[in-house]
Structure 1
């Protein structure tokens, strides 16, 4: 594909070693020391929006060169908040000035605790309409999503300079924006170019980096949900997106095992590669299915709940880590269930009609004070006839499905140990969630999003309470 630029810095020590080998053996053909380079190249070739990625140590000054190549003879306008402008925005502005690139005055959100609210998108849209400049988002998830949607709404492409390894949305299609208290994914194209200076990333708060690890680890349970949805004919797996996403996930597992023996620049660079890969996969299929499953439904539910009830906010990464562990534990009961013996006739007889299903959804959500997203629940409903066809598919192919799930999933105890090593919370009480409330969340979240997950499998097979009883109670993972 033409006009694709990849610039990933290599470890100088590795390059020196390869150079020495070549001098000793002229026939030696060096291989990239980092498998991720090939994956990122393939991902860029497969995507339609992002054309260039530069990732390396101390490369922030290259922002002017990258901008000039991607947007020749165009003005620039930096978008940042007070934190990200101090972290990188001021140096980006200076680098552009030195290169002779014209700029509009930077658009800086004054709040140090900025959130991705639609009102902020409106502010940016009004600004972008008044000038011809190309936006450069200098920040992490919030700044990138706000700039992404605002640029899309005025018909502009944009560039991103990442400031934290906090999430996988940098290169993703769509922006996660809160409107009417509900976080929604708005369709919009990803940045045309992305620059990641690991020196900048390493200066970000540790909590943001652990959030990035949580987003990568979520690919395990999200992938398991996609496997089930694929086998049941709900949402087929896109093989290219699958390979891109899952390679990033497995890289994350290696990172947790080798972090102590790697230098911090190498570790953070590999983390950022994994996050970029997740974004590329979402860009490829124009949905966040490759990176988001039941674990994100739980964490998004808790975020929404806290906002509506005006309780203390907890970081996305911390809530997501509990969501991942909860779904990982739940899956251990799923894969051991005898679904090859499922009584389909009984399941269909117990399945509610559309009106009863809507009542169940309202009751489940209203029990904890949230009477929203009923339209999502209604969109997911299937008839008894459709359920019968779906469950027959499940019953017939359950041995194969179970085998693939077993290959995809990590045991609960192992995942918990990895999270502790990273510094993520592993008990619901650490993020202000009681065990009884955690159990209740399992019963609510499948009604709040139309995406098919393992929670829908539990509901449709009638196993929900059985599997939850295996997790909650005396002598179980979470005693109540």
Structure 2
């Protein structure tokens, strides 16, 4: 089954709000037809950033003229999907209730319109301008609230257009970001299984079936992706779409987001707080994947007797360290963290469960994760960065992230098990060396 056939199969099964996906050359020209087929208004409100409107405006105007579609334009200058920007956009959409919102852009624009349209209670359409991330069809939006990036439930677009004429012309860094985002799957799925077995978190098999063989198919197209040719970028966009659909089917981002994404979110958080120059989220994720693959390699080399709860640090000392790292954001992070590791007894229970089923669990996880060397090679093949220097981060930035990113979310990952069993601190320098 091809990636395109897999996408259409998932859509037929109505596992998501998304009802139609068109990825390929000239897909924007088919937008009026797709809107009509879905019974949506043919008067649209195209919402874009200046650079994304510049990239897509000619194709959209041509499609509108040929298909009898009327286009109004709202240009947003928001550089991030902040809570305030999403609310303002929701108000703008409500002011024009007869117009169909169409997100014209990539990650930030899609999150803005996804959350703004949900706030206004209307469906929306997405015209992607870059194969830069897997969030287009996901049922989750990323919003920046008071300096901390949060994930919130959100309604996906009913229609996604991925015109490879546009996608292939996007900056290569954006395409590399999408490729790296997709390659997180072995790390994230391993974390999701670990969370089920150790922390009792929810788990669904269907998202894994959706993604079966998808990453391998996209990696096979890595040369074309790096060269930005149409076939390679089409494979990537279809793979990213399936990844987003797997999240929508799960009702959580866990099939595609684990410890490696927490590290990128941690850097984003410090960047917004301390005015760093941030790289693209997916590019940061890719570098983090190498470190997390190395962490998995070390975890899975442990024997049962190596899994003993490390209960040396009391809650007050931990709280002090988190405040020192997170500053004003510490309270919100600790409220998340305390829900998964609130006490010594919770830590002991996690490690005890892991030890009790370690032989079988370790075998299952070994079948999923990949070595840091393989992760590095596959990232490089698709044009994604593999070192801290390439994303503007220092070894100290990586050490901080490895130690403290786990505090960001109420989500159990390999970072938690490594810390709770007393090994993470001793491994950090080795993990950082993998990306220097």
TM-score normalised by length of structure 2: 0.91
Check whether the contact 2:226–2:382 (CA below 8 A) recurs between aligned residues.
no
Q: 1:388 to 1:196 in 2, by over 3 A?
A: same
Query: Shift of residue 255 of structure 1?
Result: 2.4
Selected match of 1:134 from 88, 95, 100:
100
Query: Shift of residue 178 of structure 1?
Result: 1.4
Higher alpha-carbon Rg: 1
Selected match of 1:305 from 270, 275, 283:
270
Q: Deviations over 1:335-390 (max 9, x none)?
A: 1111x11464xx2754645x554344334545xx9646222222222444444443
Is 1:281 matched up with 2:246?
Answer: yes
The corresponding residue for 1:157 is 123
Check whether the contact 1:358–1:378 (CA below 8 A) recurs between aligned residues.
no
**Structure 1 spans left out of the alignment, 5+ residues:** 1-33
Q: 1:205 to 1:135 in 2, by over 3 A?
A: same
Query: Shift of residue 73 of structure 1?
Result: 4.7
**Structure 2 spans left out of the alignment, 5+ residues:** none
The corresponding residue for 1:255 is 221
Report the number of matched residues.
433
Q: 1:310 to 1:383 in 2, by over 3 A?
A: closer
Q: 1:79 to 1:263 in 2, by over 3 A?
A: closer
Aligned-partner Cα distance in 1 for 2:58–2:165: 15
The corresponding residue for 1:375 is 335
Aligned-partner Cα distance in 1 for 2:187–2:324: 27
Question: Helix, strand or coil for the counterpart of 1:186?
Answer: strand
Q: Deviations over 1:426-465 (max 9, x none)?
A: 2213323222332232111111211111011012212222
The corresponding residue for 2:426 is 466
Aligned-partner Cα distance in 1 for 2:22–2:37: 12
Is 1:292 matched up with 2:257?
Answer: yes
| 1:195-274 correspondence to structure 2 within 5 Å | 195-256=161-222, 259=224, 264-274=229-239
Is 1:39 matched up with 2:3?
Answer: no
Check whether the contact 1:333–1:470 (CA below 8 A) recurs between aligned residues.
no
Instruction: Flag the structure with more relative contact order, 1 or 2, with Cα contacts below 8 A and sequence separation at least 6.
Output: 2
Is 1:413 matched up with 2:373?
Answer: yes
Selected match of 2:35 from 67, 70, 84:
67
Q: Deviations over 1:230-265 (max 9, x none)?
A: 222432331001222353323233223x64999922
Aligned-partner Cα distance in 2 for 1:189–1:478: 37
Query: Shift of residue 196 of structure 1?
Result: 1.3
Aligned-partner Cα distance in 2 for 1:261–1:303: 25
Q: 1:465 to 1:114 in 2, by over 3 A?
A: closer
Q: 1:308 to 1:389 in 2, by over 3 A?
A: closer
Q: 1:145 to 1:357 in 2, by over 3 A?
A: same
TM-score normalised by length of structure 1: 0.83
The corresponding residue for 2:52 is 84
